[in-house]
Each structure stands twice: as structure tokens, then as C-alpha cells.
Structure 1
Amino acid sequence: MDQGGCQMNGGVPEQTGMISLEDLESFSEDPPSDSGTGSLEERETMEEDEQSDRLLQYWQDVARGHQVEVTQEMAEPIQQLTSNNHGHSSREHVPFTLLTRKEKCGELLYEKRQYEKGHWACITMHEETYEQSICYGFMKIMRYICEQNSSASYLGMTLPIVTVVRTNENHSVIGNDVTVAYFLPTEHQAQPPQSNDNEISIEMWPANTVYTRAFTGPTNEVTIVNQINVMAEQLDHLVECVNDSFIVAGYTNPAHNNRQNEIWFLERH
């Protein structure tokens, strides 16, 4: 399978190589190591090449030892994502309407939200571990966002990137099939660009009522099973929710050590 890769945090100790989209942006602000000689255009080209190589090397360094490969073909999408993102203000969030919030002793237990129908770019992965599936899936979606689509343009980042997981009846085991999905920005909702990767499909997701709870840290099979069961204990209307399929919403990319996440339960239609 044609795959890129990134580092995952399956409960490993914190390392210096953790990287987020914000970290990627900071690379573009680094001064070049050598101003060099020659024309301005030559120096700018050299600087871009050095930056691209430096970013790719960084991802490769943090991926080593985690059974995930970052291939040379990821250099361009990483560079494009860096060049086109300028902080959270440029990232569109998936729109929703807040319906209710449940709190206890000042602590937010969960929110109930209404998400309207919309187009998502989706890919289902079947890797050996959940971490590998979300990582490879994220990289394929990343290439789709970064010009490898029918419009040949950078589409823009939206948050969260979501993964759909399936579990057994008692929520103790996550299935091998993991779907990674990206919400198309508003300007592309009417006519979504198609992916150059035939493994990525454009799907219209129906409107959904979602119960959501925030959590921080790595997303692996152990933490997700735990978060599903914690959320199940908090919900007053558990019987009204889908019981074997859940969504993990990530607001930070899979390589970040301190990921900001949510677990979503979907209300039955």
C-alpha cells in the first residue's frame, strides 16, 4: 500500500521529536543556516529546498522506532501544509450548534451538539494497530488537502480530523477497520474536489446529534476504550446512542504528544 507516515504516541515516553501543525509553522520562521551567494531567486529556491529537507528529516526522526515510515513523497505535502497554514485563525472548524451541556460540581461532563450534513473526505485503513491506521490515514488525507486533488489546489485545513472506530458489544476491543475523515471547507462543500488517491472517497454525512467529551493526551486503543467507557458512565441517555461505532475527534495532528481530543457518541436516527 502506498503510504506516508508519522510518529504516534502509543503510551511511549515524551520525546524531543513531538510535532504539531504549530511546530511545522515555526519551521518556516527559522532563518536559513547559510545565506549563500548567487541571485535572490537562487537563494530563495535553495532556502525552500533546505526547509523541505529539514521538515522531512524531522518527521523521519520522530517516526523511527514506531514502526511507521515517512517516505520522501511526504516532503511536498508537509512543506505545503507549512506554507499554507498561519495559525488557528486560518483553520475552519466543523460547524455545529450547541444544544446542552451537563456539568457536575463545576466540571463539564459532556456537551450535546447538532452537526449539519456535509461532505467529508474519508479513507478506511486496516493496519495492525489503531495508531498506525490513524497515522497512515492522516498522511493520505494530508496529501489530498495539499493539491493531490482534482482542483490541484491547497484546500485548507479544517478541525477536527475525525476517526470512526468500531468496537465489540462491551466496548473492550477496537476493530481493525478505522476510518479517517476530513470535513471539506465551506467553499468546497458544493463541489468537493475528488482525490487523486482512489482509496479516498467523498461522502455526504447526514446531520447528526452528538454527545461529546474532551480529553487530552495520546490516542491509542487503551485510551480510546477507556474514554468510551467513561463517557458511557456519564450519559443519561445511553440507550439513545449508537452502541458499536464511535468517533475520536482530534484537534492536533497524530504526531503531537499532548493531543487535544474529544470522544463522540452519535444519537440514533
Structure 2
Amino acid sequence: MKTCKLCIRKNYSATCRVQLCQTVYIYRSEIWYTSLLATMRTVTASSLLLILGCSAVIAEPWFCHDLDCPKFTVTKKNDFYETRIYTRGKWASTRVSGYVYAASLTQGFYRLFDYIGGKNEPNVKLNMTAPVVTKVEHGDGPFCKSNFTVSFFVPFADQDDTPKPTSEDVYIHSTPSATFYVSQYGGYSMDDITVSKHANDLISKLKEDGMDFEEDFYFTAGYDAPFKLTGRHNEIWVMKKAAKEADKIAAVRSVLNKELSS
């Protein structure tokens, strides 16, 4: 089999020596490459970065503290936020309706902590992961309850065969690859004022930059135990709106054409 001339011209490493395709199909969040020189293979959006630029998915950022974390690739970064593409994966989640962020997060946390502690059908313990992610959907008014979805990432060892929760309040679900705009900050982040400030700051900046994002909700991500006093790491995630199929195809074709012509 011939070696892709682009790989030779770009002097890509062995990891990146894959066959680039002349035809691109996009189905849901997957990018399908069909090559005249290779059989069909599937890659996610983050894998596209690996192929074209040999960008590595961040496996263990320092703030994960040696715990399993969802894999992501940073594609852009400025002084205020960075753009990340997260790979697909399984999560354990629970929904809480309440007025106060901290109380709702705590309630959801302990439901999930019980799940990984053995409240599942095989009665097995799962390792703790990071971060604790909370989807925040505010109510329509100041006296309306907000909806909070608290989530633990399922450990890599349990992604394929995930224990079933025994509690009706906990459920397992898969998330597709998705792009998020992420801001980061330190200190404690358990009160509504702090969380809302950082979320609103990020949303305002995204609007200023003309970004297209989901405005009905955002996510908080906490990486540290309550007893950790210094070096704390918190994040706000805002999801980028999914591109239309035609836009995805045009974007991938543009990247491939630039690479092949350079």
C-alpha cells in the first residue's frame, strides 16, 4: 500500500501516518473518511485534529489530580477562555430541582457518591473521577426553581460495561463529542453569586466575540474536594451550537483542501 503523499510532505510521525480521504461524509457527530488507498475508517472531530495537525488529546491535565477525566483537545485559546472538543463518553447523572445552587449540587453529589460507593446492581465500588459537572438551567423568574443536573464521569475501566444504578434518581447516559467554551478560575465556587458572575462573564465575552452557543443553560465543573484550601480549580462550560450538516461538510473539505494544496 502506498503512503499518503501528504504525510510524507508534512513529515508526520508514525502516529499521524493515516490515509487522508478524498470524500467526506458526516453522520451525526462522526466524520467518515473514504479513501481510494485505504478502507473506510471512522474518526471523531478530535481525531481530525490529530490527523491534520498531530495535536494530542490532553490525557491528564494537572487539575484532574490523577483521576480519570473526560478527554478533550484544546483548539483555540485566548486570555479569557479556551475552546475544547470533548470526546464522547458515559456519565452517571441525577436531576435536582431547587432554588439554591450549593444545596442542589450537594444533594446530587451524594446521590452519585452512593452510586459509585456500591448502590448499583453488581454492588461494586467505582473509582471517583473528575470533574463534578453540573448543568444549570435557571427558572423563568427570581422565585422559580432552577433545574440542576449533577454528573460524574464514568471511569474508563467501566465505560463499556457500566454498573446499573439501583436508585431511580440516578441514570447512565452517553454524550457525543461536543465543543465547549471554557473559562477557568480558582477559589471556592459553591455560592450562586460566584457561579453566576463567572458564567455571565463568559457568556458576555462570547457574545462580544460573536460566538454561536447554547444560551438556555451552562455547566459548572469542580475538580477539588471541599477540604482542599489552596490551588483550587473551577470551570464554566458553555456549549457551542452544533453546526449544520452542510456547514460541517464545507468546513472539513476546506481543511482538507488547504492541507492537500500546501
- Measured against the shorter chain, the TM-score band is 0.5 to 0.7
- 1:88 — aligned with what? 65
Shift of 1:198: 1.1
- 1:187 — aligned with what? 157
Structure 1 ranges of 4+ moved more than 4 A: 171-175, 236-239, 254-259
1:229-249 deviation digits (Å, cap 9, x = unpaired): 111233254541100100000
Distance 1:246 1:174, change over 3 A: farther
Shift of 1:218: 2.5
- 1:114 — aligned with what? 85
**Normalising by the residue count of structure 2, what TM-score does the alignment of the two structures yield?**
0.61
- 1:81 — aligned with what? none
**8 A Cα contact 2:102 2:190, kept in partner:** yes
- 1:130 — aligned with what? 101
For 1:174 and 1:210, the matched residues in 2 are separated by 27
- 1:143 — aligned with what? 114
Aligned residue type for 1:157: M
RMSD: 2.5
1:46-71 deviation digits (Å, cap 9, x = unpaired): xxxxxxxxxxxxxxxxxxxxxxxxxx
- 2:146 — aligned with what? 176
For 2:239 and 2:113, the matched residues in 1 are separated by 26
Distance 1:253 1:177, change over 3 A: farther
State the structure with more CA Rg.
2
**8 A Cα contact 2:139 2:146, kept in partner:** no
Shift of 1:101: 0.8
Distance 1:173 1:228, change over 3 A: farther
**Residue 241 (structure 1) aligned with residue 217 (structure 2):** no
Aligned residue type for 1:195: P
Aligned residue type for 1:102: N
Unaligned runs of 5+ in 1: 1-86, 104-108
Shift of 1:116: 1.4
Unaligned runs of 5+ in 2: 1-63, 243-262
For 2:210 and 2:150, the matched residues in 1 are separated by 25
Aligned length: 176
| 1:214-233 equivalence runs, <5 A | 214-216=184-186, 217-233=188-204
For 1:174 and 1:187, the matched residues in 2 are separated by 40
Distance 1:153 1:164, change over 3 A: same
**Normalising by the residue count of structure 1, what TM-score does the alignment of the two structures yield?**
0.60
